[in-house]
Homo-oligomer: A and B are copies of this chain.
Amino acid sequence: MPKPIAGPEIERLIQLLARLPGLGPRSARRAALQLVKRREQLLRPLAEAMTVAAEEVRLCSNCGNIDTRDPCTICTDPNRDTAVVIVVEDVSDLWALERAKALNARYHVLGGVLSPLDGVGPDDLTVARLVERVAEGGIEELVIAVNATVEGQTTAHYIIDQLADLPVRITRLAHGVPVGGELDYLDEGTLLAAMRTRTRI
């Protein structure tokens, strides 16, 4: 923008909004406009919610989840199976599994995957804390729910190695055809896995 058309305060708001995933420069302008038009219903509440989040959100020291309390809401939920822990790469995966109501258990958020090219080693992830949790006892099953990528699988193998001496059952999510998925869009590895683990109907 060569010449300012709104004050620098609004331009700054637009620039920051444009850095949110899902909003490009154009939709950031629309969002900024909507915000200033709906000052009391949207702009002020959102500013306050963000300020609260900036002050109060932290990583759970037990599981790596993000919450305003430590230990987090999930780690302190008395209605979850404490014997099963689902290992995920990221909080977004935790949220996805919770949305799916996949399993009423606890989680361990790794905070990424091993990636030597990106300089991500074991110390950058929460693997040591995971081993500690298992060693403390009470965990019977660990569901490794990392992404089915090369880095994800490498990370899974590293975790399994670290847990070799501990008495815990390690499982992983099944491979197969996505619900509603069309066969001819799937890669051969998925089709092969789905065929091998076919179930009787």
Contacts and interface: CB of A to CB of B under 8 A. Distances in A.
A16 B42 CA distance: 7
Contacts of A16: 42, 45-46, 49
Nearest to A97: B5
Contacts of A21: 27, 30-31, 34
Contacts of A43: 50, 53-54
B5 A50 contact: no
A50 B9 contact: no
Dominant secondary structure of chain A at its interface with chain B: helix
Given A5-B98, A47-B47, A77-B3, A53 B33 contact: no
Contacts of A7: 56-57, 67-69, 72-73
7 contacts: A5-B95, A16-B49, A20-B31, A21-B31, A21-B34, A22-B27, A22-B31
